[in-house]
Structure 1
Amino acid sequence: MTNSPYHPRIDLQEAINRSRTALRIVANTWPDESLPAILRRNLDEALNAIPALAAEVERLSVELRETRIHRANLAAAARATLNAHRDGERDPLSYLLDELQAQGYDAERRA
C-alpha cells in the first residue's frame, strides 16, 4: 500500500453551500404552516447537520494524513533497524527507538 494523500471525492464546501441553499428554499417555499412541523423539523435538522459532518470529515482527513506519515516513518525506522542489524551495527534498535520516542511513545515503559 502506498502512502498516497487522501482527496475527498466530494467538495465539502459545495455540500455546505447546497445545504444552506436547501434551507432557504424550504423556508421560502413553505413560509407558513403548510409544511407539517415534523417534516420541517426533520429537514432543518438534516440540512443543518451537513456543515458539522463536513467539519468532521475534514478533521478525520487531517488525522488520517498524520497517521499515514507516522506509519511511513515507523516503516522507515524498521527498515533502518533491519539494515543496521544486517550490517552488524552496535545498536541497531536505536533507529526504531528514536522514531518511537519522536512519536511520543516511551520505549522504556513500552507505552
Structure 2
Amino acid sequence: MPNTPHPARNDLQEAKAKNRTARETLAAIAESIAPLSEQWERINATLTDTPALISEIRHLRAEIEALRLNLANLAAAARATLAAYRDAESDPCSYLRDELSAQGWADGDRP
C-alpha cells in the first residue's frame, strides 16, 4: 500500500464558520421571537459540540498521517532488507532493525 494521503473529505474551517453563522442566526431569531428561546437553547447546546468535534478530527487526521508514515517507513525498510539479502550483504536485517528502533520497537522497548 503506497503512502498516499487521502484528500481531506471536509473543509473543517468551512464547517466551523458555518457553525458560527448558524449559531449567530439562531441567536438573532431567538431574540426577536421570545417563545423560541427554549428551542434555541437546545439547538445552541447541540451546535456547541461542533468545535470540539472539529478539533478531534484534526487530531485524528494528524495521528493517521503519522501512522501512515511509520507504515511506509517500515515497508521501505522491509524492501531494503530483502534487497540486501538478495545482494548477500553481511547484515541485511540492519535496515529493518534500524527502522524498528527509530519507531520505538527496539528489543525491550515495547511488548
Map 1:1-111 onto structure 2 (within 5 A).
1-31=1-31, 33-35=34-36, 37=38, 39-106=39-106, 108-109=107-108, 111=110
- Gap regions ≥5 residues in structure 1: none
Cα RMSD of the aligned pairs, angstroms, is: 1.7
- Gap regions ≥5 residues in structure 2: none
TM-score where L is the length of structure 2: 0.87
Larger helix percent: 2
Which amino acid is the alignment partner of residue 70 of structure 1? N
- Aligned residue-pair number: 109
Instruction: Answer whether contact 2:30 2:37 (CA < 8 A) is retained.
Output: no
Instruction: Answer whether contact 2:81 2:94 (CA < 8 A) is retained.
Output: yes
Q: For 1:98 and 1:62, how far apart are their aligned partners in 2?
A: 24
Structure 1 ranges of 4+ moved more than 6 A: none
Q: For 1:76 and 1:48, how far apart are their aligned partners in 2?
A: 44
Which amino acid is the alignment partner of residue 8 of structure 2? P
Instruction: Answer whether contact 1:6 1:65 (CA < 8 A) is retained.
Output: no
TM-score where L is the length of structure 1: 0.87
Q: For 2:2 and 2:95, how far apart are their aligned partners in 1?
A: 22
Instruction: Answer whether contact 2:2 2:72 (CA < 8 A) is retained.
Output: no
Q: For 2:109 and 2:9, how far apart are their aligned partners in 1?
A: 39
